[in-house]
Amino acid sequence: MVTKVKSLNEECGVFGVWGIPDAARLSYFGLHSLQHRGQDGAGIVASNKGKLKGHRDLGLLTDVFKDDRQFDCLKGEAAIGHVRYNTAGSNGIQNIQPFQFEFHDEELALAHNGNLINATTLREQLEDEGAIFHSNSDTEILVHLIRRSERETLIERVKESLNKVKGAFAYLILTPNEMIAALDPNGFRPLSIGQMSNGAYVLASETCALDVVGAEFIRSLEPGEIVTVNDDGYQIEKYTEDTMMSICSMEYIYFARPDSDIAGVNVHTARKTMGRTLAEEAPTAADIVIGVPNSSLSAGSGYAEKSGIPYEMGLVKNQYIARTFIQPTQELRELGVRMKLSAVRGVVKGKKVVMVDDSIVRGTTSKRIVQLLRDAGATEVHVRISSPPLRFPSFYGIDIQNRHELIAADHSVEEVREIIGADSLVFLSVAGTVDSIGLNFDAPYGGLCMAYFTGDYPTPLYDYEADYLKSLEKEITVQRDEES
Amino acid sequence: MVTKVKSLNEECGVFGVWGIPDAARLSYFGLHSLQHRGQDGAGIVASNKGKLKGHRDLGLLTDVFKDDRQFDCLKGEAAIGHVRYNTAGSNGIQNIQPFQFEFHDEELALAHNGNLINATTLREQLEDEGAIFHSNSDTEILVHLIRRSERETLIERVKESLNKVKGAFAYLILTPNEMIAALDPNGFRPLSIGQMSNGAYVLASETCALDVVGAEFIRSLEPGEIVTVNDDGYQIEKYTEDTMMSICSMEYIYFARPDSDIAGVNVHTARKTMGRTLAEEAPTAADIVIGVPNSSLSAGSGYAEKSGIPYEMGLVKNQYIARTFIQPTQELRELGVRMKLSAVRGVVKGKKVVMVDDSIVRGTTSKRIVQLLRDAGATEVHVRISSPPLRFPSFYGIDIQNRHELIAADHSVEEVREIIGADSLVFLSVAGTVDSIGLNFDAPYGGLCMAYFTGDYPTPLYDYEADYLKSLEKEITVQRDEES
Amino acid sequence: MVTKVKSLNEECGVFGVWGIPDAARLSYFGLHSLQHRGQDGAGIVASNKGKLKGHRDLGLLTDVFKDDRQFDCLKGEAAIGHVRYNTAGSNGIQNIQPFQFEFHDEELALAHNGNLINATTLREQLEDEGAIFHSNSDTEILVHLIRRSERETLIERVKESLNKVKGAFAYLILTPNEMIAALDPNGFRPLSIGQMSNGAYVLASETCALDVVGAEFIRSLEPGEIVTVNDDGYQIEKYTEDTMMSICSMEYIYFARPDSDIAGVNVHTARKTMGRTLAEEAPTAADIVIGVPNSSLSAGSGYAEKSGIPYEMGLVKNQYIARTFIQPTQELRELGVRMKLSAVRGVVKGKKVVMVDDSIVRGTTSKRIVQLLRDAGATEVHVRISSPPLRFPSFYGIDIQNRHELIAADHSVEEVREIIGADSLVFLSVAGTVDSIGLNFDAPYGGLCMAYFTGDYPTPLYDYEADYLKSLEKEITVQRDEES
Amino acid sequence: MVTKVKSLNEECGVFGVWGIPDAARLSYFGLHSLQHRGQDGAGIVASNKGKLKGHRDLGLLTDVFKDDRQFDCLKGEAAIGHVRYNTAGSNGIQNIQPFQFEFHDEELALAHNGNLINATTLREQLEDEGAIFHSNSDTEILVHLIRRSERETLIERVKESLNKVKGAFAYLILTPNEMIAALDPNGFRPLSIGQMSNGAYVLASETCALDVVGAEFIRSLEPGEIVTVNDDGYQIEKYTEDTMMSICSMEYIYFARPDSDIAGVNVHTARKTMGRTLAEEAPTAADIVIGVPNSSLSAGSGYAEKSGIPYEMGLVKNQYIARTFIQPTQELRELGVRMKLSAVRGVVKGKKVVMVDDSIVRGTTSKRIVQLLRDAGATEVHVRISSPPLRFPSFYGIDIQNRHELIAADHSVEEVREIIGADSLVFLSVAGTVDSIGLNFDAPYGGLCMAYFTGDYPTPLYDYEADYLKSLEKEITVQRDEES
């Protein structure tokens, strides 16, 4: 059941538009700006003259929509789309969204960003009542609930169903008559609404997608909200009052694009501030600061600015994505890292380096980058991480569900430093992280979900409770061994 | 004959290795770090037990070598490889290198980075003597010359042939018995030799490829040199004494990877210095400095450092390559730029911006980026270019052979400023460029080819002479119109 | 709703095996011999260590299983497979069988040959009860019924469900514990059971598949039977007593392979006898007999033998399948027929020809072949059809659901003769057909379904009743016009 | 150098047309009817407005021309095409014809059916004079000769060159100004000229291609002829007077389509007559005659007719081409034959069978078919071959260049019978074969090349002389062993 992950992975991005000709092509542009949220599959469903038509496949958006012909059957003025990150065991084409359903009395398409935490329970209940699932995805559950609801209108059936699913979700639903979006009661995942100059409404996981298609930002969806868009405009309701803001802090730290704003805070700015705070919390005597490209360039420059140490481009990322399959011998395997990232010898040689990165998951990558810098002649490598140690699994849509994949779960900071071979290692504090992002919601951590660092899960864990407790036991054993 | 180009394009990169098991796979790693030099085709030829075997195809390296099976037939301890940029009319698979030739008395493979300027003349002469060409590539010419040479050894035949081709070239030749490399008498293109820890020799267009495969840099090839590598080691000779260093300045300005060293100068450092010199030559009252990603980040940070104005990440490049085919309407076409590049509103809004870019070719891209920054709220946009205005065509391997594609050829700087919509526009001076790169060869411009800026071509133009003169006439007309 | 068909098309073939290593590969061989029953999609599901794994895709079997790697995940000693013919509007990959279902409490795969006639009604009922269908295929219905059955064992649930579906079906079900097959109460489609020398049991649509894999024929499944195969052997039960043999006569006339036996009668022999009977019913003064390849070679040789007129190869079928897409002009369109079929001028020229074909659907093909023979110099062309005129639609798995596609539905034999341009035209009589095939079941027509010729449907028509009656009305109008 | 072949293989077919719009599409239809002459590659080159454009690739014609878009660049009123059979070591895309050549002073395309026997000598000579070959194909030689000829017109240069190449060839050349075809001095390969109703001229390897495109047969090209087609019509000349008709007997026996006429003799009729003669030479007491599909159906029916024994369809060929890759175990390997060919148990069981086949190459296939018939219940299997034993290699375009691949070269007829497991085995006599085909040219064997049976090669063997003599030595040894 446990698969090894090498980096943190977001689970999906969604985009929808209502009210503009060629809606599917516009969605392609919007989804392209969300590609960083999922690279394993993509799809678009368009609504035209009362019928839904879709195209989806495995791969990058540009692989799925290889040429213009794919849009020939995707006409119409409304569309929703999805980019997907595959979690373990879910890599079949039947899991690529948006899902499409054609009943004798209605049609609908559904896209989902997030992760349900009572999916196993719901699925078993539904199967026991005769339901047949065709994907491994928890996304499908919502449709079964909607179809089994006995309320009168679709919107009422959706609202009833939303109260049964638990966890993190930003849903997009398209029917020939309307586009519906809904956010979970904690607002774990971002979802914004915007408007095009022609009046069309756009929904997207990140505001960068609004910018790309030229839509003006209206507002973010709030926890427990459902929005209905149709030819009469949009209308926002609450489907539950039992809400508490807990937006995923990893969106700011790692996932989201720097040009996106989340809950009113620009992501690049948040990262730069985290870098500045880190410089205050962990000053270092060094010659240059280097941010690990691409996600830590903002934090790196913040650190440099605050510390007064010059910021240098000491690491270069190859812009061409390398396959790692060609690695038959150990010798060639070592080359894999260098294919992706190179140290600039002319910059690094003879220097004491502060290497700023946004997080450490398993430690493997950090270890390799430290070595890369040493090979290029760095005399000292001081690693500064612009977030706290990752110590607890995520159940809300980040692909870490086993805490023993997290090096900081089972090791002290000093142990981690030794493993990665750094001269020193400091993580940003929890308070420093929260303050740097600077949300002001009336909720713990100002409205951030910090569970990966603190274990403070903002919801019950439902299906994951047992697994989680079991993993803790093992931790205790490990810690006892350390103490003795 | 004239095709429109949207950006400057390098023509190809080469990589070769002699003396290590699995030489083809090693070449894959090396070529991957040279992928920025050509994305239209790739190939590797390996030598095993007296026979050459090759695989080549259109596309990125990772498309051509999709899985490990492609290497099954590429065994052996020596290999050469090539990544290709297609010039107009040369996009067939028959043009993908390395070319392979099997004669009844010898076998050889050939890869070429550069552009011959007497190719048309030579090809017609050869055809009149019965030669049959199978590609549109000027690369093939060398093999016809080699085969028609009556000298005794291959190396002597190669040397004779090298004295007949004119222009820019870095050749790699592989036979079952040796690997040969040669550089043109002006050293237009970089070519370095390095050594692996097991003693194997490596030849590569850029030193970043040596780093990636873990080879130690020995030295750059010099103008007019030919190197022979075989099981006895390597030997360097001059095939001509009529040489003069004129290394292409665009390698420093735009083409090469920042982590490469060319003629002993690190590319990132050269760019940063150009940025610093630009700040001295053209100081600006502004709030932030933004480098256009990715090639102008070094120059941007140099400008910021020298000027004291904070460097900010105001532009974000989408790391996923977008296709531009999906652009049926004018409205959607405009979205194309935004797919590739986004302005960070939170950073740019309300700011006076210095936008640093490395060059302006047609002006179209600059105009769009300026607009992007203004749309994101920049109050002023001052464009600073870290090289002089491009005013003359290149015949040495950059894909600009018609000067009327160059906006600065027919327009004054003030006109260009107006076209791109900047508040101010300053280019780095020729002297500033030469000084910043800082070569010290006993040659004009310290050994740099500055022809694209000055018209000082370091060689006769041969087949291009007439075209060039004709293009000048037109320029004179344009200038007269301006004067009147 | 009505799509035009150019020929009669079978809907699918099934193959299953229990108890032999590499069961999936064996199924590949078996399915290959059933490829004539469906060329639009293929799939195999194998059972290994308590889990089902499958591979399926659009296209011919050899396209779906392109190389040996496809079998890497299909290990195990049991497998079922399917070749599919796409009916209109059902051409998506989600319709390719065998379908696979994974529930929290059981797993099963399902393949289906046939057509349900109460599918629309059942599907609407199930959807109203909350069921979600993921394909357009009527096959999926059975699984919903099975999952909603409250009986205890799978076999009991299957039996209950079989009593709810109406029409033509030969089902194959695979679970990790057993393989189940069932035939409809009329035995419309053939399904045979055989045994390999190692004891493994094989189920296949036609006996030719048993021969190909080297299995010995045990017996045909009879109407209303269900067979369960597991490690203890096989067991046959009746799930209903309300049965009446009505095996599809088109299996003998056109669909099945000549080397298959159906209900104990060899298909080639049946066809040859039909040809002989036709010669008795419709003797002709002619020089040569020509069977239309490939399906009418048997009937042709029977006619020749009985009539004493020499049988000649006057028509040659191109063994390479041609695409018909390349037909931009009317002139080239005419070439399409000739690509598939050529007349042998040396054989036909100056001859009075008897052209024997198995059936006439729309008349278009017959017209073209007659013309082909005349172009090649035939002085007379007498068409003899070894089955009666097709006048009624099929609802049991042949792709003719609209009688107005059938030329003989709206035209007299003399009219058809004139349309196809023959010198004479005779169809085999209904009695002649029944006698030639020679079944002896205690049922109308000896146990054959002759509905396409007579309108005597052996079951109620359920969902198709209204459509059918409506189509008859139109016929009456047509006939009246003829009479007046 | 020697590769094993499993069956006789023709080397290629050619088709050309001059003077009709959409010439490339017409060529597609023509080539499709020649697909049996080569299945490994296909291509078409069209001439439009003074330029040649081509498309070619590995695979069947329908794979190479997958959809209509491939014809977008193949406009114009003239075209030539080629279907290719790969001989050993020549399977690269660079060998797919028609070859295209663009010189600074002319353009031409070339397609070739046949095999040169002085290719190695010519190629070495040309290479020593500086020529570079880009394919392994002997076809390329002609172009080198043409380009090196110093005669004035293209037609004169072609004629001079034709006198230098030796062996079997039917060439088609296309330039923007004319289409040229030429046949070798022995007329080994068929080549016919026809005319469309609009006046366009067509050239094709077989007359079936003329029929398919609706062209009227004008006449066959004769040995040593060259025909030039241009807008003024066609003109036939002799390029040599040193000719002697030796048309390949295997065209009649096995290769050509039954509906083609070669040298005025219909292929089906020739085969049927061979079957009749065989019945006279080798009468048999048996119940039924079975021809091995598809090539021996004509001979089989001739045998049946003459002998009075009923002809039956005892073997059925699967019309879907099977891949043979899926054969991991010996058990499954045996299934491979059955996938391609099935015995009809209902026909064969309990019968004494005459199995008529056209030839025996290695004996493997015959052995398997005999076994197939016995497995299906045949009590006796008498094999009758409608041609003499193959005992000598072919150097004129059939893929047998090593006589030890031929079972009859090293074994007596009785030994072959034993190996294939037949109850009796008789081959048609040389005289019977020649008489049945019935040519009347003033040349040995009436103008047939019977070398594969008799060793009477109609030309010197040039490059193959030594190999041939060496192979004979071995034969002598074998025969001595037999004698002792």
In this predicted model, what pLDDT tens digit does every residue of A202-213 receive, in sequence order?
Answer: 999 999 999 999
- Average pLDDT of chain A is 90
Q: Which helix (H) or strand (E) holds D25?
A: helix D23-32
Question: Measured between beta carbons, which residues in chain B are less than 8 angstroms from residue A266?
Answer: 344-347
Q: Residues A414-467: pLDDT tens digits?
A: 999 999 999 999 999 999 999 999 999 999 999 999 999 999 999 999 998 887
Give φ, ψ of D469 to 5 degrees: -65, -40
- Residue D400: band (very low, low, confident or very high) from pLDDT cuts 50, 70, 90: confident
Per-residue pLDDT tens over the stretch C136-188? 888 999 999 999 999 999 999 999 999 999 999 999 999 999 999 999 999 99
Q: Which of A71, A212, A342 sits opposite B342 (nearest CB)?
A: A212
Mean pLDDT of A288-309: 94
Mean per-residue pLDDT, B45-62:
94
Q: Is C332 exposed, middle or buried (0-12, 13-18, 19+ CB in 10 A)?
A: middle
Cβ(A54)–Cβ(A100) below 8 Å:
yes
pLDDT average, residue stretch C31-39: 93
Cβ-defined contact of B130 to D143 (cutoff 8 Å): no
Statement: residue C6 has pLDDT above 60: no
Q: Is C111 helix (H, G, I), strand (E, B) or coil?
A: strand
pLDDT value at residue D319: 81
| Residue D480 reports pLDDT greater than 50 | no
Average pLDDT over chain B, rounded to an integer: 90
Look at residue B436 and tell me whether its pLDDT is greater than 60: yes
- Report cis status (omega within 30 of 0) of the bond before C98: yes
pLDDT tens per residue across span C421-439 = 999 999 999 999 999 999 9
At residue C294, the pLDDT reads 86
Averaged pLDDT for residues C261-277: 96
pLDDT (0 to 100) of residue A483: 39
Rounded to the nearest integer, the mean pLDDT of chain C is 90
For the segment A124-144, what is each residue's pLDDT rounded down to a tens digit?
999 999 999 998 888 999 999
pLDDT of C480 strictly over 50:
no
- Mind giving me the DSSP string for B413-443? HHHHHHHHT-SEEEEPPHHHHHHHH----SS
Residue D120: is its pLDDT beyond 70?
yes
To the nearest whole number, what is the mean pLDDT of chain D? 90
pLDDT in tens, C216-233: 999 999 999 999 999 999
- pLDDT number for residue B228: 98
Which pLDDT band, with edges at 50, 70 and 90, does D28 fall under?
very high
**Is A339 or A284 the better-scoring residue by pLDDT?**
A284
**For residue range B233-255, what is the model confidence (pLDDT) as tens digits?**
999 999 999 999 999 999 999 99
- State which amino acid sits at residue C296: S
The pLDDT tens digits of the residues spanning C287-304 come to 999 999 988 999 999 999
Encode pLDDT of D214-267 as tens digits.
999 999 999 999 999 999 999 999 999 999 999 999 999 999 999 999 999 999
Tokens of D164: 């230098």
**C444 upstream amide cis, omega within 30 of 0:** no
Taking CB atoms within 8 Å and a gap of at least 24, the contacts of B58-63 are: B58/B91, B58/B93, B58/B96, B60/A320, B60/B35, B61/A320, B61/B28, B61/B31, B61/B32, B61/B35, B62/A320, B62/A321, B62/A322, B62/A323, B62/B32
Interval C106-131: pLDDT, tens: 999 999 999 999 999 999 999 999 99
Chains B and A touch (3+ CB pairs under 8 A): yes
Binned at pLDDT 50, 70 and 90, residue C383 comes out as very high
Alpha-carbon span C104 to D373, nearest angstrom: 50
The Cα angle at residue C46 between residues C43 and C48, in degrees rounded to 5: 160
Contacts of A130 in chain C (CB under 8 A): 129-131, 144, 147-148
Q: Closest chain A residue to B332 measured between Cα atoms?
A: A26
Cβ contact, residue pair C147, A124, below 8 Å: no
> If pLDDT is split at 50, 70 and 90, which confidence band does A479 have?
very low
Residue C5 scores a pLDDT above 50: no
The pTM of the full predicted model, rounded to 2 decimals, is 0.90
Whether the pLDDT of residue D460 is over 90: the answer is yes
Residue D386 binned pLDDT confidence (cut-offs 50, 70, 90): very high
Q: Does pLDDT of C479 surpass 50? A: no
pLDDT, residue A467, reads: 75
ipTM of the complex: 0.89
Q: Tell whether the model's pLDDT for residue D482 goes beyond 50.
A: no
Most distant CA pair in chain C, distance: 72
Q: Model confidence at A475, in pLDDT bands (50, 70, 90)? A: low
Q: How many CA atoms lie within 13 A of D301 on its CB side?
A: 22
Using DSSP's 3-state secondary structure scheme, residue D217 falls into strand
Q: Where are the beta strands (DSSP E) in B186-327?
A: 192-195, 201-204, 216-220, 225-230, 233-238, 247-248, 261-262, 265-266, 288-291, 315-317
Backbone angles phi, psi at D101, to 5 degrees: -135, 130
Q: In this model, does residue B323 exceed pLDDT 70?
A: no
Q: Are C85 and C97 in contact (CB under 8 A)?
A: no
CA angle, C371 as apex, C370 and C373 as ends, to 5°?
65
Q: What is the pLDDT of residue D89?
A: 56
Distance from CA of D2 to the nearest CA of B (A): 19
Query: What is the distance between the alpha carbons of residues B52 and B47, in angstroms, rounded to a whole number?
Result: 4
Cβ contact, residue pair B148, D130, below 8 Å = yes
Q: Is residue D248 annotated as part of the catalytic site, yes or no? A: no
**Most D CBs within 10 Å, among C311, C344, C369, C375, to test the D interface:** C344
Res. B399: pLDDT tops 70? yes
Tokens found for residue C314: 């006057």
Under a CB-based contact definition with an 8 Å cutoff, are residues A79 and A46 in contact? yes
- Residues of chain A with pLDDT > 90: what percent? 78
Average pLDDT over residues C324-348: 72
Query: What whole-number percentage of chain D has pLDDT above 70?
Result: 91
Which has the minimum average pLDDT: B99-108, B144-153, B315-324? B315-324
Q: Tokens in use for B53? A: 């075997």
* Option in C36, C297, C346 nearest D268 (CB): C346
**B480 pLDDT above the threshold of 90:** no
Stated as kind and residue range, the H or E segment containing D181 is strand D179-183
Are the C-beta atoms of residues C356 and C291 closer than 8 Å to each other? yes
What are the chain D neighbours of B132 within 8 Å (beta carbons)? 101, 103, 131-132, 134, 140, 143-144, 147
Pairing of strands D315-317, D380-385: unpaired
Segment among C130-144, C253-267, C323-337 with least mean pLDDT? C323-337
Say yes or no for a CB contact (<8 Å) between A101 and C132: yes
Asked if chain C contacts chain A via 3 or more Cβ pairs within 8 Å, the reply is yes
Residue A482 has a pLDDT of 41
Spatial separation of the C-alpha atoms in residues B256 and B437, rounded to whole Å: 13
pLDDT at D55 over 50: yes
pLDDT-derived band at C251, boundaries 50, 70, 90: very high
Q: Contacts of residue A334 in chain B, CB cutoff 8 Å?
A: 214
Which amino acid type is present at position B49?
Answer: K
Average pLDDT of B400-414? 87
Q: Do the strands A13-18 and A233-238 form a parallel or antiparallel pair, or are they unpaired?
A: unpaired
Whether C5 and C393 have beta carbons less than 8 Å apart is answered as no
**What's residue B6's pLDDT?**
36
* pLDDT above 70: residue B328: no
Is the pLDDT at A272 greater than 80? The verdict is: yes
pLDDT interval class at A295 (50, 70, 90): confident
Q: What is the pLDDT of residues B61-73, one digit of tens each?
A: 988 998 888 898 9
CA distance A139 to chain C (A): 14
**Closest alpha carbon to A472 in A418, A406, A416:** A406
Stretch A170-190: mean pLDDT: 98
Give the rounded percent of residues in chain B with a pLDDT score beyond 70: 91
Per-residue pLDDT reduced to its tens digit, D270-285: 999 999 999 999 999 9
Segment A11-32, tens digit of pLDDT: 799 999 999 999 999 999 999 9
Q: Is A135 annotated as a binding residue?
A: no
Beta strands in B103-178, from DSSP E residues, in sequence order: 107-116, 167-174
pLDDT of residue A278: 98
Distance (Å, whole) CA C379 – CA B390: 80
Asked whether the predicted pLDDT for residue C327 surpasses 90, the reply is no
Residue C484 has pLDDT above 60, yes or no: no
Give backbone dihedrals phi and psi of A343, rounded to 5 degrees, phi first: -90, 140
Q: Where are the beta strands (DSSP E) in A242-348?
A: 247-248, 261-262, 265-266, 288-291, 315-317, 341-343
More confident residue, B324 or C205: C205
**Side chain identity at residue B268, one-letter code:** H
Among B33, B261, B294, select the one facing A346 at the smallest CB separation.
Answer: B261
* pLDDT, mean of residues C207-213: 94
